[in-house]
Amino acid sequence: MIRWCDGIETLPNGSPCRQLPQKHVWTSTVWCSADGLLWRRFYNPVSKVWTWADEPYTLTLDEGKVGYILEWWMSADRCTALSWLHCAEGGSDRIQERVTVQLVDGDAASDPDEQGVVRVDAIEWVDGDEEPEDGGSIPGEKWKPLRWSCGLIPCDGRYKISSRARLWSPHTRTVTSGFWFDDDRWAAVRGGSLVPLRAAAGLQPAGERLQPRVRLARDALMAGYGPSDLEAASGLELSTCWNYFTKASMYVPGEYLRRRAQRLVPKELWVALEKLRARADTRLGGSLTDLIEGIRRMVPFRVLESEHVYSQLRLARMALTVP
């Protein structure tokens, strides 16, 4: 069980909850109670105030299992395990029942709208609940103030991050090595979000380190936002935001990039580039000037006259050509 106190909040219905870890956040996070109830929380970067959604997520049924539709469908037991349980670093991501599943308020299999959920004490990771030893000092370990934001959600600078990727809390004066998720160890900052500790400590390979603005653009892109959203949040010029988005696209897997980039560029532009790709037209891999000439007759004049057309071309071409 994850025991880091700074990661506990309270749902509107009074239940204790922990944040569901997700690879990228922007201005909202998802929280999970110990009995699998999900509720979204929103951060206002202007007022710096958190608010809860009016209602929790609705349970749905898929092949006899209850779960939620987030970016894709996720079972209630997986949401609960990810939020509340340590899993073995590099181990299996499979979950098994510890005891018979207990349902609340009826049979969820017959009525997916009923709040039938799996309790955290009823499930476990196949490879066990591997809790790190957080106490004690480590020879040679150095500490510095945490300078990190999760999307537009800033982290309290009174927290400290160590050279060994451990987090120190100013509230409890305790240390954690976090829990394992998505090739990093994560820990919650009170009033903020989950922080990838190795990334925050600068311990990734040099090729994986991103400039803060590029990382911010990648988080926005992965969370479904666009350059205009980054402009509104950061005060940067829109052309600069487009530049950061094109740089960030190099660090997004092709499957995800195609899904998101298609929404950010004009539909006519995307369709024209798809046609070039289908014909294996070499101009798709050439200069942007040649590429514009290749699609000029397929795209309305207003699209090609946009001041951001070159950035849109870079983003769309990257999405359509990466594996």
Query: Rounded CA gap, 67 and 74, in Å?
Result: 5
Mean pLDDT over 195-215 rounds to: 84
- Vertex 129, ends 127 and 134: CA angle to 5°? 130
Mean pLDDT over 104-122 rounds to: 53
Query: What band does 208 get if pLDDT is binned at 50, 70 and 90?
Result: low
Q: Percent of the chain having pLDDT more than 90?
A: 63
- pTM for the full model? 0.76
Please tell me which residue, 157 or 132, carries the higher pLDDT value.
157
Predicted pLDDT of residue 45: 83
- CA-nearest of 15, 29, 197 to 119 is 15
What are the start-end ranges of the E strands in 149-274?
149-150, 153-154, 160-162, 167-168, 175-176, 179-181, 184-188, 194-196
* Rg value, the chain, Cα: 22
Query: Which amino acid is located at 132 in the chain?
Result: P
Minimum mean pLDDT among 7-11, 57-61, 285-289: which range?
A: 285-289
Predicted pLDDT of residue 110: 38
Query: Rounded CA gap, 220 and 153, in Å?
Result: 12
269, pLDDT greater than 60: yes
Q: Enter the DSSP assignment of 130.
A: -
Specify whether the CB–CB gap between 214 and 19 falls below 8 A.
no
HSE toward the beta carbon, residue 153, CA cutoff 13 A: 23
Query: What band does 109 get if pLDDT is binned at 50, 70 and 90?
Result: very low
Specify whether the CB–CB gap between 218 and 150 falls below 8 A.
no
Please tell me which residue, 102 or 239, carries the higher pLDDT value.
239
Mean pLDDT of the chain: 88
Specify whether the CB–CB gap between 1 and 82 falls below 8 A.
no
- Count other C-beta atoms under 10 Å from residue 200's C-beta: 22
Query: Which pair of structure tokens corresponds to residue 77?
Result: 């037991």
Predicted pLDDT of residue 65: 83
Q: How many helices (H) and strands (E) does the chain have?
A: 10, 19
Specify whether the CB–CB gap between 7 and 188 falls below 8 A.
yes
Query: Rounded CA gap, 169 and 159, in Å?
Result: 5
